[in-house]
Structure 1
Amino acid sequence: MNEITPDDTPAAAVTGMVDHVLALAATWTAWDGTPLPADDRVYTPHKAVRRVADHMVDHLAELEARLAGEAPQPDHWHASTITTGADLAPFTRQDLDEARSRLTRLARIWAVRLDALTADQLDRSPGEGWTFRELARHLAESTYYADAVGDLS
């Protein structure tokens, strides 16, 4: 698995997170349908993919709004607090293919955007909130969702 180090570029932190998630997801077709407890919540393969993708979209919208000088639009997702019926569905090879396509494309969008920013833009981001470098590091912590499901091989 790719371990994210403090020396990683912001883009590498995000793409490394997605590589880690997808490496675990490759084992999830063996999931037996039982939600897996983590802290005070439960996770499933679909929920882990949903949370990673939503987290990436949410913070990408924040980054773009702040770069444009706008206030980020608050999200209204239920996040990890709910487990939907769709989260409980079997995780098939087709679902894995969809997750690979979705998360790989989102990671590429993040990498292109972060690599286009200067060091100053990464470290002195406009608006309120984390710097964009910190935001990328925070996003890299999305491995939590996949780690909650774990390696099911």
Structure 2
Amino acid sequence: MSDTPLTDDRHPAEVVTGLVDQVLTLAATWTAWDGVPVPAGDRLYTPHKAIRRVADHLIDHLAEMEARVAGVPTIPDAWHASATTTAADLAAFTAADLDEARSRLTRLAQIFDVRLRALSDAQLDRRDGSAWSPRQIAFHLAESLYYAESVGRLRA
């Protein structure tokens, strides 16, 4: 089975902005988090870690797309990804943290929206070697919802 992201007829900008909307809908419940990391597979997730992973994933692929559009080499990803849970990930998730997450993620979504809508269909589907096209990258980013779903919808 290929790991190439499947795409559909949605505009890739809508896929990314939709991802952020879904993450923030879940995050709005996370001020009720009890401080116990949530196991998912062989990893642990917390509200801060989920937000960090979504933001890092957006930043990583935004940098890749921008470099490719500019025709310069991409910088290899060196994130520790979800294998690492930092001390900051274990902090309480407060209303102020939610506000910061909203600001961070909505701004990143806007950058993607502007960039992806500025590309022609040919540019959205252009692949450089084995690298994914910008359209495929956007659909791959939707998989970041996994991090937020790992924490889930919490109840006070």
- Tell me if TM exceeds 0.5: yes
> How large is the Cα RMSD of the aligned pairs?
1.2
Aligned to 2:14: 12
Aligned to 2:90: 88
Task: Report the CA distance between 1:138 and its aligned residue.
Answer: 0.2
State the secondary structure of the residue aligned to 2:139.
Answer: helix
| 1:49-128 map, 5 Å | 49-126=51-128, 128=130
Give identity over the alignment, percent: 67
Task: Report the CA distance between 1:127 and its aligned residue.
Answer: 5.2
In structure 2, stretches of 5+ residues that fail to align are 1-6
Q: Normalising by structure 2, what TM-score?
A: 0.92
Aligned to 1:32: 34
**Contact 1:15/1:108 (8 A) holds in 2:** yes
In structure 1, stretches of 5+ residues that fail to align are none
User: In the superposition, relative to structure 1, how do residues 128 and 68 fare at CA in structure 2: closer, same or farther (>3 Å)?
Assistant: farther
Structure 1 ranges of 4+ moved more than 3 A: 125-128
C-alpha distance in structure 1 between counterparts of 2:112 and 2:142, whole Å = 11
Q: Deviations over 1:70-121 (max 9, x none)?
A: 2210122111011000000000000000000000000000000000000000
State the secondary structure of the residue aligned to 2:106.
Answer: helix
State the secondary structure of the residue aligned to 2:34.
Answer: coil
Aligned to 1:140: 142
Moved more, 42-51 or 71-80: 71-80
C-alpha distance in structure 2 between counterparts of 1:139 and 1:127, whole Å = 20
State the secondary structure of the residue aligned to 2:85.
Answer: coil
C-alpha distance in structure 1 between counterparts of 2:74 and 2:10, whole Å = 26
Aligned to 1:47: 49
**Contact 1:67/1:126 (8 A) holds in 2:** no
Task: Report the CA distance between 1:68 and its aligned residue.
Answer: 1.3
Task: Report the CA distance between 1:128 and its aligned residue.
Answer: 4.2
State the secondary structure of the residue aligned to 1:83.
Answer: coil
